Amino acid sequence: MKPVAFAALLMIATFARAADAPDAASIYKANCEVCHGADGKGKTVMGKALHVRDLGSEEVQKMKGEKLEKIIADGKGKMLPFKGKLSEAEIDSLVKLIRTFRQKKESAIK
């Protein structure tokens, strides 16, 4: 196979996989944002009423992915379960999105 043809096949396979990947941002917006907020801080009316955790907090960010997946799937406290509503791939994509909420430590020097 010529290098150009191989490169074209590789690109097609990559784009096909990307097209099949769940859109975590849309899933989060539809299912999580009402309580956790667009920034994951939980400063929404519902989030405050339910005392949701800040998804960027060190406590949440230190959780293993499997634990976050379990919480999303099975629910916890007042959080409803999403097992059956979201696929495993969608839940996995949410965990990856939650990791983007990681808070940067503020500089001690201001």
CA distance 40 to 106: 18
23-99 belongs to CATH 1.10.760.10 = yes
Section 82-101 average pLDDT: 97
pLDDT for 21 equals 73
The three-state secondary structure class of 86 is strand
Quick one: what percent of the chain has pLDDT higher than 70? 75
φ/ψ (deg, to 5) at 70: -65, -40
Contact 98, 33 (CB under 8 A): no
pLDDT at residue 100 greater than cutoff 70: yes
Torsion sign, CA atoms 37, 39, 41, 43: negative
φ/ψ (deg, to 5) at 56: -90, -5
More confident residue, 7 or 27: 27
pLDDT at residue 7 greater than cutoff 60: no
More confident residue, 8 or 41: 41
Contact 73, 35 (CB under 8 A): no
Global confidence as pTM: 0.75
Query: Each residue of 48-71: pLDDT tens digit?
Result: 999 999 999 999 999 999 999 999
pLDDT for 87 equals 97
